[in-house]
Amino acid sequence: MKIPLDHVCVRTGVLCPRCQRLVESGEVEKYEVDVMRELLNLEERPDFRFLKDAKYIKSILTRNMLVLIIEATDSNIHPRILGRLGRALSERLNTRVRVINKAHGDLREIARQLMYPARVIGVNTLWLPDGTIEHIVRIPRSDSRYLPANTAVLEDLLSKITGMNVRIRTGI
């Protein structure tokens, strides 16, 4: 797996000056070192071999969930495999983990991966009079109970992941 820190530093837990600078500057958070260590351990397992060619992007920690963003260009990666990876990381890190593959993902695909099992009906773009753009992710009202977190947390996560202003609306 391609990670921003050195493999030796992550595996041992002792950071070299370059890696220490990345952690102190805030480019890489301290909890991300543990996430990277577990990913390096999991890539040796046969069912997670795709991690060898994957690239670690970022981890975002919320109150009750960790969202791991990777970039795996292998087209054979099924969403169930990412779910299995999330469960394996959950057991090792003692927190809920949601894995998102950002390789071929537009906003709709990323929202679908993040909000699964809730369905995404569509994504609308709203141009506001002050010149800003807001993206609205629509889900069925009946699926709102299946969301992995409340809508405010999911809106914040989607905005951080995509770099866009995102709102979630339930309807229909």
CA 153 to each of CA 93, 150, 166: distance values in angstroms, whole numbers, following the listed order: 20, 6, 11
What Rg do the C-alpha atoms of the chain give, in angstroms?
17
Domains and CATH numbers, the chain: 1-104 (3.30.300), 117-172 (3.30.300.20)
Q: Each residue's pLDDT tens digit in the chain (172 positions)?
A: 898 888 898 888 888 888 889 888 988 888 888 889 998 888 888 888 888 888 988 999 888 889 999 888 876 677 788 888 889 999 988 889 998 888 777 888 889 888 888 899 999 999 999 999 999 999 999 988 998 888 899 999 999 888 899 999 987 6
d(CA 70, CA 11): 19
Tokens 């969202």 belong to which residue? 67
Confidence (pTM): 0.85
The pLDDT of residue 140? 93
Structure tokens at 109: 């695909």
> 60, 69 in Cβ contact below 8 A?
yes
pLDDT reported for residue 54 = 87
Instruction: Please name the residue ranges forming H helices in the chain.
Output: 7-12, 17-25, 30-42, 79-93, 107-115, 151-162
Q: What are the beta bridge partners of residue 169?
A: 138
User: Bridge-partner residues for 31, per DSSP?
Assistant: none
* C-alpha to C-alpha distance for 31 and 116, rounded to whole angstroms: 25
Q: Are 158 and 166 in contact (CB under 8 A)?
A: yes
* Helical (H) or strand (E) element with 160: helix 151-162
107 neighbors 123 (Cβ within 8 angstroms): yes
Q: Which residues pair with 168 in a beta bridge?
A: 137
